Structure formats: structure tokens, C-alpha cells
Amino acid sequence: MKTRKITINLLAVILTFFALSSFSQQMVNINLSNYNPNGCFPQTITFTAEAPPEATNFYWFFGDGQNANTSTNVTTHTYYHGGNYWVNLQVFNSTSQFLGNGNINVSIGGQINMNVSTDSACINETVFFGVWPQSNSTVWNFGDPNSGINNTSNENNTQHTFAAQGTYNVKLVANTQCGLDSVERSIFVSNTAKPNADFWYNRFVCPNENASFGMNNHDAFSCVWTFGDPNSGTNNTSSLPNPTHNYSLTGKYPVSLTVTNICGHSKTKIDTINVVNNLTFSSYNNLNIYTDNGSTNFSACPYDVFRFKLQNQFSSYLWYFGDGDSSIIAEPEHSYNEVGTFNLSVKLTNGCGNDTTLSQIVNIGSTGNGYQGNPQINNMPYACPNDMVSFSTNENGSNYLWSFGDGITSILSNPLHSYTTIGNKTISLKITNNCGNDTTVFSNIIISDTITPYLSHSENGNGNWGVTANTACVNDQIIVYTYGGASYLFDFGDGFTTSQTTQLVTPEGTYDLANHAYSTNGTFKIKLTYYNNCGRSASDSLNVVIGGSQAVDGKLDIANSGSIYSCEDVTFLGTGGVNYEWNFGDESTFTTTNSIVTHHYTASGTYTVTLAMTNGCGNSATYTRDVTILDYPLPNIYKNGDTLYTNVASTYQWYLNDVLIPDATDISYVPAISGLYKVEITATNGCIATSQAFTYCFVKAGADKNVCLGGNVQLNASGATSYSWTPSATLNNSDIANPIATPTGAEQYIVTGTTGTCVAKDTVDVNIVNSLTAEAGDAKTICKGFSVMLEGTGGGNYAWSNSASLDNANISNPVASPIVTTTYTLTVSSGTCLSTDQVIVTVNDPPTITVGNDTSVCKGNSITLSASGDGSYFWSSGDNTATTTVIPLNTTPYTVTVTNTALCAATAQINVIVYIPVVPTISFANDSLKSSNAASYQWYLNTNIISNANNYFYIPTENGSYTVVTADTNGCTATSDSYLLSNVGIAQLDNNGNTLTIYPNPTNDVINIESLFNKNSEKEIFIYNVNSQVVLSKYFSNKNIEQVDLSALPKGIYFLKIKGQDFVKVEKIIKY
């Protein structure tokens, strides 16, 4: 069996080589059935190839060591182990001519993988471990019993430091969706361990053609490439992990890679590259046309955007898209605007001047082809409550409808969502393409509060963080990307740390970015600590090398997902430099040091974007790519029965004859009349588009009728502006909406309704019966003040009793508006036929409700409103009790609705007038503090109330912070801002040992002031009225008694103020 396996593989290689050397190639699509990407092993999958009709031999390679050779395009295969498998197919005709190949990836669940940062570590070096996919039950044993309790771990992502030399057998046991699984791996620990210096490269290249190199050791501390090309000067070496080099002359060149590990040990590997001038295309691997993300699906809908690409670089490209358009760039973008089959081809020329042409059939389908493609949902399998989870899909659609399994939905292409409860959630995505076809796919996520975050950098495989470049120059921006965390801490190894990130939405998902520019040369370890909402964290590190004369290792990407339209901005991401010069292809240019820029194209078309970047070493490089800008497609209007529908969007507005239809803001609308209907939508990206006019022709002839021979009946048409009935001989008027019909036998009447140029028809049958049976319908119950439609049947002519409370007593379905319980009698008649029936409409009284008179409240205060009535309550404030307490900011009407047991409701309103008091202001003049006008006053010093200080003014006797609280005529109070006073006298009289006696007080003429002062100085006396006005003043020396005559002053309250060199004293006096 083993020999046969090798023979088949060798035969396939020989045939493939022959075919690649002689014929143009075509990609063959492979479709899967009976395949569950989230399922467990074993799985039996059916593979179907979309092969040319002349294909007769199919060589299948299933990626698990098993192969098959079939004569048809269909085969099955069973996978007995979990893992990712790359399936390859080679197709030949009956003469062994190679027709094309195809490949597809198959993922089978149930097997865990152990991620290890290195298999060969130094003593005391920290080795990082991770499990993929993540598990909700993980047990690690590091085979290092001397480390004590650190020998085991239960985290998905963990680390261990081996303190002694030896070989350690690390075992991982984890629980997957398919049950328990285990894996083992040996870690060799020694300070003499040598690093792995193996590398891959193009063994044959042409002169002046980029040769690609890559190292296999992703955990090297540093690396140095030497390309054996001294004529290239400083470009003869590189410290990039995956560099390119351009050889100008033919010959054999020794290429060496020196890798240094973290122990300081180095290893060098040398190999030879051949630069020849006769390289043919048979020397290239994977010489196929792909679409973006490496897909081989060339079926799409009109306006879908393809990005065509190759896995090799050549000197020139000439693309023909089969619809008259062409391009000469390496990875062009193109959209087909019509349904059909298009012959895509590209002529490739390598550096040796040899050329070949690849071809591919592109199928642009219509609505009849069903949904083409195999969309999948991308999301992390585990998350914590409140973690922001990023969801995306591998396919572009025109509309998306996500359901996250917790009642929340989204119509974004790459939504973010957080869960608030734990459990297993099923996610569904309904994706609609530009053909109008849709499909629904599913995924799962487990929300748990015990999740340890998974963290592994991208170079370890299946990583969820990384850097845009591992080597850079001084001042180059190093961008670190990750996603899904609640928060992060980035340590760049040069003393700079940050937790700030910028969010970037891309077709692959939503990323969090942090960037940093190093100011010195060296090797730096970037450490990311990743926190989730379970309160757990994980850390991982990688190295970046700064310095030397690095060539630009740049990239130009577009962050927008899906099709890009002229009504939205385009986000470009350029990495690898310090200065960026953008040319957007529409005569707009922009120079910046930012890695992320946005640009708005005002017109549709395909634009070639050029980015010239210079890194911190002064080296430059230029990158180009196409961006296709589309006019936003007009929404379609579909008719299903009597209902109109349009595409899924964020908002909708329907129009009739270019006039807005009120409240017509749903995805569907049911017209009531004929006319020209349009719908305006707002898409999730903010684009606004209006459909073409949809002609809706509408007429209704009404329900079928019964009539007795010789009788008559009224027909009822609606929906148009003019009507014509046939046959007309038995109608009293054939050109009105409601003619009277007197048929001589059973008759079908046809009504033609016309609205402008819109014409529609409908029919109604009038049957001849021997008798009529009146049916007045079921009994009705309404609340007083409401109406109800009666439901009469029986045919013929209708007559209802109690016509005063009916809108029309001679139709089958009048609207009744009784104010008391009423019995209605229906009489139907036709010729000699007569029948009656009755229906009772019960009228229930609404509850009696009272809420009292309007009331008032001061702003900021609460007020309780009360209502009375028999039933349940609901206030406009949200309370559902008889009372509600509110704090209105402005005058507000409040309504309360009371609903009784008969479900009749009454509503009352009470207005709460809010008085807003004026905040007082304080001024100071003539030794007095004054307040602005109010109804009452209270003064405070240093927040303490001043007794009896209730006037609009106050004469201060000491320094401090004064405020006044005023009340207006409504009783609403307000407090002034503080007024800081610092110019009152140095000390009060009593505090300096002085005494002061005033008598008599009250007085009607003279007062005596008896004083004893410690200092001989002149004193001043001031008498103030209550308006703070000085009405009398005088000077006196230091004598025992001084008299002041008040006889000329009117009766009232006054204030006596004595002011000396270093004191002030104020007393109140009363004149009667």
C-alpha cells in the first residue's frame, strides 16, 4: 500500500510538470457536500469538481496521506482524525493533457494542537505554550517535577521556565467539542542548543527579478542574510525574516542565513541560487490565478468586486477581463456589471523575457442561479460576558442579517457584539448577494466566566496578535495588532508602555492597533498583556530588530470590507515606513507620517493607488494597487401578492407619485391605490439611494355577492381613479365605482380600474340564489366614544336599523358609533327574498378619573401627583400606581391613563408649573453688603447663619465668605455665589478691651454713647437707615460720653456704626 501511494504521487508530479511546461492552466472549483466545518471526526465528505467536459482523469490528494484516481468528477473520502487538510486535484483528458487543477481546505474538529514558542530552549528561558482550539477544560504537565506546583497549569495559554538542562516531555489534555484529546511534545533545554537556520527560496530566478527568501525558524532572536552579490552594495545583506533581493547579472550566488537564538548561539546555513536568462514558466510553483484571500471561486453576481492575484512575482502583467477592460498591475480589482460568462486571461512576462498566458472562466450569474459560494462565520469559539466579540465572514454580500443567539441582531458586514449571560450561543448569518439570492450559515460560541484568554503571536501559527514588521529602522512606526480583548498593556521593551489602541475595521475583522517608533538601534522584546472580562490575563512576547540599513518592508492595504461605493470613505493602511506619499489615482495626493489615511472618491471607477514610502534608514519603495469604486446600486422593488418589498437596509421611506407616504418606513409597503411607487433607503454604510419608479396597478372588485332572481345588488370597486364594468347591460351605470347590478342569472362582472396610464382588472361573481340568509356577525364590545365595524353578509341589498349611529346603513359593513348598548337589525333583500338578523354592540363606560387642579413646584424640588379612579394606572412619567413623584426641570404636562376591567381607558392631564428662582447677586458699597431684589433674605457668614440678618443689606463686622439666600414670591429659594470680604476693620471693639454703652435704646430724641477707649484717637459715628443710607455722622474724641440727637429722624430702625483707627462696632437702635 505504501509503494502504491508513492507511485501515484510521483505520477501526479510528472504529469503536472509536463502539463505546466506545455499548456495554459485553468483553476478547477471544488465543491463540498455532507461537510460540517464545525463537526468532529470521522467525517465522510463528497467532493465535486467543476471540470471541463473533456476531463476523464481526476487525481485527488486529500491531505491526510490518502489519494484517489477517478474517472468522474465526484468522489468521497473519510477523515478519521481531526486537523486542517489541504485537498489538491489534478485534471487530465483522455490523452493525458493537463486541463487544470484545484484545491480547497478542509477542517475536521476533535483534535487539539499544542502551540510552543520553541522546541529548543535555553536554561531559565521562558517557553510559551498554547492550545488550539481553545478548551473549557485544560490540564498541562510540563514534565518538570522539580518546579513544584508550577509543573502543572489549567490555563489555555500558559508559560513555563525550565531551570535545568534536559529533555522535558510536555503533555496537554484538553476537552474539545468532540470530547477529551491529548497531545505530547518534547522540549530540549540546553545552553549549547543551536538554532534552526533552514530557509526556503526561489532556486532559479531571472536577472532583475525579485527573488524571495524566508526563514523557517520563527523564534530566532536575530537573523542576517547575505545574498552573495557584492555588486549590490548595502543591499547585499538584510535582517528581515523574509527578504527579497534583485540580482542584475546571471550566475550562481551563495546565499547564507545566520540565525542567533536567545542563548547567544548562532548557526549558519548556505545554499546556492541560480540566476539564469532562460527560465521557463515550468519552474514556477502554484502558477494559477486566484481571487482575494487565495480563493479559487470565480462565480459571482453583477457588481461583485474581484481582486485577482498570483502567488509569484513577474516583470510585467497584462490582464484582459473579457468585458473590454484590461489592467497592467500585479493584483487588479474588477467588477462585472452584466450577467454572462467572461474569459479572464493574464499574460505574464518574467525577467528572462519569456512569457505565458493563464486563463480562467468567470461566471457572472443572475437571480436564477441561486446563492453561489460557501460562506463561513469567523469568530472566537469562547468569550467572557461583556467581551467585545468580532464577527466576520469570508464572503462579500450586498446585505447581511446576523442573529447572535441572544435576541440581538445586526445588519453590518463585520459586527461587534458582547454577551451579558453565560451559555452556548448559536450565531446565524443570512447573507444576500448582488443577485438577490441568499443563504444562511451557523456558528457557535461559548460564553463563560472562567475563560483564560488565548494569546499567541502570528508567527507561531493561529495567532491573534503580531506586528506589521519584525525589523525596522530608527523612527519607523512598528504597529502591533490584536483583537478581542477587554484591555491591553503593550510594553515595547525600551521603557515605553501604553494601553491605548486604535480600532481598525478590515474585511478580515476588527483589530485593535498600538504603534511605536524606536529612537535607537537594538533588539527589543515587545510584550503584550491581554485582559479579558473574566478578570484573567495572558502574556506573550516577540522580538523586533531596529537598526542597520534596512530595505523598506512595506505593505499597502485597503481596510474597507466588501464593495466600496462613491458615497463612503476608503480607509488605506500603509506600513513599513516613516513618511508616506499617497497618490490616490484621481489627481489627489497626500503626504503624511500616519499609517492610516482615508480618502473620498467622488465618482465611480477603478483607480490605481500609489504609495511611495521612506523608512527611517532613508530607503524608499513604491507600492501600487487598484481600488474599484462603485455607484451605490439602486434598491429594487419586488411585488409579492399585494405587498411591495425592497432590499434590506437601515432605514426606508416610501413615496407615491414622488410624494412622501407618512409612516411608510418599513422594508415592505401595502399600497391602497395605483400609482408610481419609489423607496429611498439608507444603507448601513450611510449611502442613500432611491429606486426606479415601480408602476403598481391596483383595483379591487369587492367580495362575491348573492342575489335572488329579479333582485339587485350593489357592486363596490376601489383602488383606482376611474372604473369601467362589463358586461354593462345589467348595470345601472357601468362607469362608476358602485353600480347597481340586476342580473338575469349568475354573472361575473369585470371591473377595469385606471389611474393615469396604469390599468388593472379584477372580477366579482354575483350568484343567483333561492333565498338569502342574513348574518349580522358576532356581538361586539366597545368603549364609549369608540367605533366598530359591523360584519354583515347575505348578499342582495342591505338595510340596518338604528341608522343614526351608523356611517352608512345600506352597506354590508357599516361603522357603528353607539353611545349606549344597541341592538342592530340587518335586513338583506333581493327581489322576493328577504332575511333578517341581529347583533348587539355593548358599550362600556370608561372609568372616572380625577387628578386635581394644576400645581406648581420650585425647580429642583419634587412633587407628588395623585389620581383617583377605578382601574389600573399608567403615568406619562412611567409610574403605574395612583401616585407619581416627579422632579420636572421645566413646566411640564403629566398625563395619567386609568384602564378599568372592561379595558376601557380614560386619560387626564395635570400641568406642573415650575418656578425658576433668580439667583441673587451680592454687591458691596458704603461698608454694606447688598443683595439683588427678592421677597425675603437670610445672610450667612462662612456657611453659618447670621441671626436677625434678614434685610436686603447687611453691614459686616468681620472678614469672611458671605452668601445670601433669597426667596421669591412663589417661595422658591436661591443661594448667591460667595462674596469674599477682606476690608472690614482689623479688630472689633470688644476684642480690644473697649466697652460701649448706648442708652436709652429705644429712644425718641437723644441717645448717649458712653465709651472707654484704650487709644487716644479720633472716632467717627455713622447712623444708617434700613436702606443702608447714611443719615447722620459726626466725629468725637476719646471722652466718656457723647450725645447724638435723633429728634429730626423719622421713627424706625437704624444702625449705629462707630469706627476708629483699629476697630469697628455696630449696634441697632430704634427711634419711636
CA distance 660 to 666: 13
Pick the range with the lowest mean pLDDT from 584-598, 850-864, 870-884, 999-1013.
Answer: 999-1013
pLDDT at 728: 93
- Between 816 and 1010, name the one with better pLDDT: 816
The cell for 602 is 467622488
CA distance 128 to 492: 18
pLDDT at 994: 58
Pick the range with the lowest mean pLDDT from 253-262, 275-284, 582-591, 947-956.
Answer: 275-284
User: What is the CA 15 to chain-centroid distance, rounded?
Assistant: 50
- Name the band, by pLDDT with cuts 50, 70 and 90, for residue 438: confident
Sign of the Cα torsion 665, 670, 676, 681 reads positive
pLDDT at 117: 76
Instruction: Tell me the pLDDT tens digit for each residue of 258-303.
Output: 988 777 788 899 999 989 888 777 666 667 788 865 566 788 787 7
Residue 273 burial by CB count (10 A; 0-12/13-18/19+): exposed, middle or buried? buried
pLDDT at 192: 82
| pLDDT for 568 beyond 90 | no
Nearest to 224 by CA among 193, 265, 268: 268
Residue 109 is given by DSSP the state B
Instruction: Tell me the pLDDT tens digit for each residue of 478-511.
Output: 889 888 788 899 999 999 999 988 877 665 567 8
Are the CB atoms for 687 and 565 separated by under 8 Å?
yes
- Between 394 and 649, name the one with better pLDDT: 649
Nearest to 436 by CA among 696, 645, 604: 645
CA distance 709 to 727: 18
Most confident of 60-69, 341-350, 414-423: 341-350
pLDDT at 1013: 52
pLDDT at 30: 87
pLDDT at 508: 57
| pLDDT for 369 beyond 60 | no
CA distance 384 to 535: 9
Radius of gyration of the chain (CA): 45
Q: How far lies 885's CA from each of 855, 878, 888, 981, 1050, in Å?
A: 13, 10, 10, 42, 52
pLDDT at 921: 94
Pick the range with the lowest mean pLDDT from 35-39, 229-233, 861-865.
Answer: 35-39
CA distance 841 to 778: 9
**What does DSSP say about strands 74-79 and 113-116: parallel, antiparallel, or unpaired?**
unpaired
Residue 784 burial by CB count (10 A; 0-12/13-18/19+): exposed, middle or buried? middle
Instruction: Tell me the pLDDT tens digit for each residue of 688-740.
Output: 889 888 888 888 898 888 888 888 888 989 888 899 999 999 999 999 999 99
**What does DSSP say about strands 659-660 and 668-669: parallel, antiparallel, or unpaired?**
unpaired
Q: Mean per-residue pLDDT for 819-832?
A: 91
pLDDT at 219: 58
pLDDT at 371: 66
pLDDT at 932: 92
If you average pLDDT over every residue of the chain, what do you get?
83
pLDDT at 1012: 55
What phi and psi values does residue 715 have, to the nearest 5 degrees?
-90, 155
Nearest to 456 by CA among 105, 118, 110: 118
CA distance 220 to 194: 11
- Name the band, by pLDDT with cuts 50, 70 and 90, for residue 168: very high
- Name the band, by pLDDT with cuts 50, 70 and 90, for residue 847: very high
Q: Mean per-residue pLDDT for 59-82?
A: 88
Measured distance between the N- and C-terminal CA atoms of the chain, rounded to whole angstroms: 132
Place of cell 489615482: 585
Pick the range with the lowest mean pLDDT from 312-326, 580-594, 1034-1048.
Answer: 1034-1048
Q: Mean per-residue pLDDT for 62-83?
A: 87
- Name the band, by pLDDT with cuts 50, 70 and 90, for residue 878: confident
Nearest to 841 by CA among 903, 784, 917, 923: 784
**What does DSSP say about strands 953-954 and 944-945: parallel, antiparallel, or unpaired?**
unpaired
| pLDDT for 843 beyond 90 | yes
Query: Which DSSP string do the residues of 286-314 spell out, in sequence order?
Result: S---BBGGGB---EE-TTPEEE-B-SS--
Q: Mean per-residue pLDDT for 800-809?
A: 93
In single-letter form, the type of residue at position 845 comes to: D
The cell for 442 is 451557523
| pLDDT for 1019 beyond 90 | no
Are the CB atoms for 909 and 868 separated by under 8 Å?
no
CA distance 732 to 1062: 116
| pLDDT for 23 beyond 50 | no
| pLDDT for 17 beyond 60 | no
Instruction: Tell me the pLDDT tens digit for each residue of 171-204.
Output: 998 877 677 788 899 999 988 877 888 888 888 8
Instruction: Tell me the pLDDT tens digit for each residue of 387-424.
Output: 888 888 877 777 788 999 998 988 777 788 889 998 88
> Could you give the percent of the chain with pLDDT greater than 70?
90
Pick the range with the lowest mean pLDDT from 130-134, 165-169, 814-818.
Answer: 130-134
The cell for 708 is 335572488
- Between 351 and 781, name the one with better pLDDT: 781
> In the structure, how many helices (H) and strands (E) does the chain have?
1, 98
Pick the range with the lowest mean pLDDT from 220-224, 295-299, 638-642, 1014-1018.
Answer: 1014-1018
> Could you give the percent of the chain with pLDDT greater than 90?
30
CA distance 230 to 347: 33
Pick the range with the lowest mean pLDDT from 14-28, 458-472, 613-627, 886-900.
Answer: 14-28
